[in-house]
Structure formats: C-alpha cells, structure tokens
Amino acid sequence: DAKTTQPPSMDCAEGRAANLPCNHSTISGNEYVYWYRQIHSQGPQYIIHGLKNNETNEMASLIITEDRKSSTLILPHATLRDTAVYYCIVRLPSNFGNEKLTFGTGTRLTIIP
C-alpha cells in the first residue's frame, strides 16, 4: 500500500472548518483514500473514503486532487468533540478479507474553544 504523509498536529477554532491535508504521492490507480479518527481512549472510527471523486457524508467531506496525489478532509463546523488523531490511509481493494489496513502516524487535531 502507498504511504501517506500528514502534519503531526493542527489547531482549529471551534465552529470553524477544519481542513486536514494528506499527501499520498505514490498512490496507485486502484487504491482508495480512507480517513479514520481516534478520540482519546476509544478505538478508531471510520469517517469517509473515496477513490477519485469528492465525497461527502454526515461527518465530513473528502476532497481528492485530480492527480490523486493528495487529499483534504474537511470537518465543516468543528466542535470540541472533534479533538482526536486523524489518520489518512490508502488501501487496495479488499482481497476477500485478506488485507492489511496500515495506520500512519496521523494528525493530532485540537479544537480550541
């Protein structure tokens, strides 16, 4: 799987949009971009994923550049509960359950009141 690069930490004011960047310059054509987050003392939580097109769900939006070498996770109105470590992961399509989801070091996002 391709490796990802994320800033180690970011701050965002409560109520503002949080934009978390991820670089995946070696991504291959069939690898998906996934985002998970881990709030302190909890397990990782799935947020969103995409292949080529921008995606939006009730939690966040995912913007993938046209060359697919980078992406941005957007939390439109950050709240204190969004303080967490955010992981950007690239994954090959599942091989009938035989796959390794590999976490990088992630971005520690702190929402400031």
Partner 1 sequence: DTEVTQTPKHLVMGMTNKKSLKCEQHMGHRAMYWYKQKAKKPPELMFVYSYEKLSINESVPSRFSPECPNSSLLNLHLHALQPEDSALYLCASSQVVSNNYNSPLHFGNGTRLTVT
Q: Which of residues 5-34 bind partner 1 (CB under 8 A)?
A: 32, 34
93 contributes a contact to partner 1 by CB under 8 A? yes
- Determine phi and psi for 44, rounding to 5 degrees: -60, 145
# chain residues binding partner 1, by CB under 8 A: 26
Provide, rounded to whole angstroms, the least separation between the CB of residue 75 and partner 1: 18
Q: Is 104 a residue that touches partner 1 (CB under 8 A)?
A: yes
**Three-class SS of residue 61?**
strand
> Which of residues 66 and 96 has its CB atom nearest to partner 1 in the complex?
96
Pick the stretch among 12-20, 54-62, 76-84, 85-93 that binds partner 1 (CB under 8 A): 85-93
For residue 93, the 8-state DSSP code is P
* CA–CA dist 44, 27 (Å, integer): 23
The tokens of 23 are what?
């670089």
Q: How far is CA 63 from the centre of its chain?
A: 10
If binding is defined by CB under 8 A, does position 43 make contact with partner 1? yes
Are 105 and 8 contacting, i.e. CB atoms less than 8 angstroms apart? Answer: yes
Applying CB under 8 A, the residues found at the interface with partner 1 are: 32, 34, 36, 41-46, 49, 87, 91, 93-106
